[in-house]
Structure 1
């Protein structure tokens, strides 16, 4: 049986124009596809309209896969590829299947013998690490930390201890409206000699990446990052 491919299509971070951050082969591939699985269908349509797609939007099938999608729905989402059509996977996180529910669809594609094609595009996690000056030889991404202040402080102390023991860069994110609380926890909890990087609005004109020792951060006003997508990194 001929199978289509599951093609992992990166998208711009924030409002960055696609032609500024996506290579031409990625844009060309997305333009020709007629079947997509996306974390958010509305955002996916906006992306395809901006390319623009080779097809009228009403002729493009977009199914949603997000944190609320039941595992039993995955075979249905993969059906176009099983029937022989190429299927694009789009994430709200920039690169599909990285800190993204699309990983479950990729896993099923492998089980079904469907070729998986990852394409080049912006990853906020890797861009932040590249620009931080912290260790790129040993690092870990931890997603979201606890929202409760005490639990968040406890988790930060644990990550700092692991970083110190293994010289590991610890990477994590926060819901943008809680960025200030995360900064306050970092500078309250971590040792003066720990380095912290704050990477905000990556790939946008307002991009800002700053790495300082905690002792230095404590002597500065908190950066204005509230409600702006930010990646946090620390190395003890």
Structure 2
């Protein structure tokens, strides 16, 4: 069922405002964001202590309520009730856009389901800010966020991402960035261009550009500090998977080919054909023996 929202149509209930906050430089806070934070009844903050520093800087006295990954089940219905009763809420994360690798999506979904107006404000975003200065093709791009922590899952994700032609964008911590780039060298190859954007918009903002091995060497000789946006050139040499030689064969012909080429008895050949094609063994058996089911 379709639903529509006129964001600035007057309603008795309150609204949910999604307010981006600076990712480093406080001067990136917009006039509108400051005004909204002053006007709403509550600010739902990922970390109230961190947000309070921002509020103090801009002389904002609005009350805060904590809203983070560990209390969403409890806090979401409380915030929804407040908005249904006519109070407005602004949601902020510690830095950047709410919901982008930060808490937020649960509250947005609940607000929409309750018919509450959700109003997004434009503002700071580390991924896009780094992307436009990377020197790599900015569109199309594929934003992934944080890669899996376990090595097995990390490698599996990179193998899958290696099939993409778009520029890839990741977030990574200083503790894991070297491990991630090491695996990228192995999976993506030595020619892939990588850009590390460190401490974007902050005093020590830095961009490191080069091939995957070059960037890895830089990491090995650097004292790694700060949060990273990792941008990777897309794969421009994706090989199309060759069609299986048996795709044009009937089930009977496929069984007979395996029997001849691999010297298999019909029972084993039928079993292998079923596995290759994702079929029931009895279906292949019936086709081979020309049994009409």
On whether the aligned pair clears a TM of 0.5, the verdict is yes
In 2: Cα distance, 1:46 partner to 1:106 partner: 25
Q: Does 1:63 align with 2:65?
A: yes
Instruction: Tell me, yes or no, if structure 1 residue 33 matches structure 2 residue 40.
Output: yes
- Work out which of the residue numbers 171, 187, 190 in structure 2 matches 1:192: 190
Match of 1:230 in 2: 228
CA RMSD of aligned residues (A): 2.3
Map of 1:45-124 to 2, 5 A cutoff? Answer: 45-53=52-60, 55=61, 60-71=62-73, 73-124=75-126
Taking CA–CA contacts closer than 8 Å with sequence separation of 6 or more, which of the two structures ends up with the larger relative contact order?
1
Aligned length: 224
CA distance in 1, matches of 2:202, 2:93: 18
1:135 is matched with 137
Aligned structure 1 segments of 4 or more residues deviating by more than 4 angstroms:
218-223
How far residue 120 of structure 1 moved from its aligned partner, in angstroms, is 1.9
Name the counterpart of 1:11.
21
The structure with more radius of gyration: 2
- In structure 2, how many angstroms separate the alpha carbons of the residues matched to 1:32 and 1:225? 43
SS at match of 2:98: coil
Whether the aligned pair in 1 keeps the contact of 2:16 and 2:88 (CA below 8 Å) is yes
TM-score norm. by structure 2 comes to: 0.69
SS at match of 1:79: helix
- For structure 2, list consecutive stretches of 5 or more residues without a partner in the other structure: 1-10, 236-293
CA distance in 2, matches of 1:191, 1:8: 40
How far does the alpha carbon of each residue in 1:46-85 deviate from its partner, in whole angstroms, 9 at most, with x for none?
Answer: 21111111x3xxxx43222222224354121223322212
Query: Measured at CA, do residues 220 and 48 of structure 1 come closer, stay the same or move farther in structure 2, by a change above 3 Å?
Result: closer
As a proportion of its length, which structure holds more strand?
1
- Whether the 8 Å contact between 1:12 and 1:21 is mirrored in structure 2 is yes
